[in-house]
Structure 1
Amino acid sequence: MQEAYSWNSAFRKARQEYNTKIKIPKAFAGGVPSQFTESPMSLPLGANEVYRDQRPTSSLQIREYDDHYTVEMDKHNPDEGSAVKHALTDALPYTALAVGLGFAVFGGSQG
């Protein structure tokens, strides 16, 4: 995981390297930028909260942890009407896991 010490630096790095998480210590961040809102469609995956900008594509996601944030770019923003595209491109490993678990729990028995 790469590190940055400002939001601008983190955003630039995240846009340059799709699918790479950029870590920012909270001491350097000064809170979540105002253009980001809580994301009801995002899985926390251990984070305290998840935030997204309102861009439908090339969207930035911030995850908040106790002592740092992470930033990464997604090709599609699920909060802006692109949930299926997001699931199939940006979140494919999590989508595959969820489908596999669903099949094991609900579809794996034969009657």
Structure 2
Amino acid sequence: MQKANSWDSAFHMTRQEYGKKVKISKVAAGRLPPQFTESPMSLPMGANEVYRDQRATDSFQIREYDDYYTVQMDRHNPDDGNAVKHAVTDALPYTLAAVSIGAMVVGGGGG
């Protein structure tokens, strides 16, 4: 995972490739940019909190951990009415895993 020394640098790096994650220390980052709010539709996946900007497409996601943040760009923002597009386009591996687990629970695990 690449490391950035500022929010601008992190956003620039993630614009280069969808889904690419960039790490930035909390010391280097300072405060969270004001356009980001908590994301109720995002899975924390070990993060303390997940934030998104308010853009429907080409949306940045920030995950907050104890000492650092990660930044990545998604094609679709699930908090802005694009949850299905996000699940299929940006989060497909996680969507497939969730569907598989759900099928096992509902179907009794195939046994």
Name the SS for the 1:86 alignment partner.
helix
Q: Could you tell me the TM-score, scaled by structure 2's length?
A: 0.96
Within 1, Cα distance between the matches of 2:12 and 2:107? 43
Does structure 1 residue 29 correspond to structure 2 residue 57?
Answer: no
Q: CA RMSD in A?
A: 1.1
Within 2, Cα distance between the matches of 1:108 and 1:95? 20
Within 2, Cα distance between the matches of 1:15 and 1:59? 10
Match of 1:69 in 2: 69
1:53-72 residue CA offsets vs partner (Å, 9 max, x unmatched) = 00000000000000000000
Does structure 1 residue 53 correspond to structure 2 residue 53?
Answer: yes
Q: Once the 2 structures are TM-superposed, how far is the Cα of residue 17 of structure 1 from its aligned partner?
A: 1.6
Name the SS for the 1:50 alignment partner.
strand
Within 2, Cα distance between the matches of 1:55 and 1:27? 26
Q: Which residues of structure 1 form unaligned runs of 5+?
A: none
Corresponding letter in the other structure for 1:105 = V
Q: Once the 2 structures are TM-superposed, how far is the Cα of residue 19 of structure 1 from its aligned partner?
A: 1.2
Match of 2:105 in 1: 105
Match of 1:4 in 2: 4
Within 2, Cα distance between the matches of 1:33 and 1:109? 44
Name the SS for the 2:60 alignment partner.
strand
How many residues in Structure 1 have an aligned counterpart in Structure 2?
Answer: 110
Q: Once the 2 structures are TM-superposed, how far is the Cα of residue 109 of structure 1 from its aligned partner?
A: 6.3
Within 1, Cα distance between the matches of 2:107 and 2:88? 21
**Identical positions, percent:** 69
Q: Which residues of structure 2 form unaligned runs of 5+?
A: none
Q: Flag as ranges the 4+ runs of structure 1 deviating above 2 A.
A: 107-110
